[in-house]
Copies of this chain bind each other. A is one copy, B any other.
Amino acid sequence: MKNVPFKGIIAYPITPFNTNDQVDISLFKAQVERLIVSGSHGIAPLGSTGVLPYLTDVEKESITEATTQQVAGRVPTLVGVSNLTTERTIYHAQYAEKAGATAVMIIPMSYWKLTDDEIVAHYDKVASKINIPIMAYNNPATGGIDMSPSLLKRLLEIPNVTMIKESTGDVQRMHILKKELGEEVAFYNGSNPLALAAFAAGATGWCTAAANIIPELNLSLYEMIRLNDLGAAQKVFLKQLDVLKFIVAKGLPRAIKAGLELLGEKGGELRNPLQPLGEHDTQALAKILDSVKLVQN
């Protein structure tokens, strides 16, 4: 039986910095706490939202530690450990396991487009060095590679590769995965505007940074799907669609920081060259959040 520790809403915290360009661990912990208290079913630090590629090794380690300490086993944790080289991926995966992570997420980052054999060897080498499950992540837009269903099938033959996160933005792909990988495969949606279609296609969970600002709406969509109430699911999905489109269009770290601040929370600083949303975009977000009654007055 495959070890599949996640379902529902898996929340992605941002990585906040202080004004000296250092990771603000205490603010990070506070944001993780908010995500747990608001009902998220899992916590996933060091993803795209958490600006993983912009961090030093030491910073990644401190975020990993802070996550497992703060979560303290209340929900499962999914730590991002992707790296261009196999050696560094192994290093961070082992670190995450030792720090108590429930599972790790790995996208085959590729400056040079990897062959299928190179990708399988990469996962295989990492998987053999850890004992916790791996979520294989397919996102051509950020990873530079589109892993085909047949390649994903090969990856799932590695014992501790047990989950797939799909972010091609093409709902057909999810149907094909389900069809070709078998009904029981656990796949997770990583494309926010496809959340309804992905659940309709049978996704086990939704990996989203939106839970930082609209957790009730995210959780409610999952609940309506669980209750088989498609009409209500449509309604609550349409209600949050503008938020989902906005945060994707503007970049998750920028948009989540702005959303947190509009809600009266601290967002911290971004790391250069990333800069905060401009006034115009911030007002557009305020208007969208206001339309779903979330902005502080």
Contact = CB atoms under 8 A, between A and B. Distances in A.
The prevalent SS among residues of A at the interface is helix
Q: Specify how many copies of this chain sit in the oligomer.
A: 4
A238 to B, nearest CB: 5
Contacts of A179: 238, 241-242
Interface string A96-133: 00000000000010011111011101100100000000
A19 interface: no
A114 B251 CA distance: 9
Interface in A113-164: 113-115, 117-119, 121-122, 125, 142
Contacts of A118: 273-275
Contacts of A142: 111
A32 interface: no
A75 interface: no
Contact of A53 (B84, B171, B201, B252): B84
Interface in A58-87: 84-87
A29 interface: no
Contact of A273 (B122, B193, B242, B252): B122
Given A85-B272, A178-B234, A179-B238, 9 more contacts: A51-B111, A54-B111, A114-B273, A114-B274, A115-B275, A118-B275, A121-B273, A179-B242, A200-B234
28 contacts: A48-B112, A86-B273, A87-B272, A111-B142, A112-B252, A112-B253, A114-B273, A115-B275, A117-B275, A118-B275, A119-B273, A169-B172, A171-B171, A171-B194, A172-B194, A175-B193, A175-B196, A175-B237, A175-B238, A178-B234, A179-B241, A179-B242, A197-B197, A197-B201, A200-B230, A202-B234, A228-B229, A230-B230
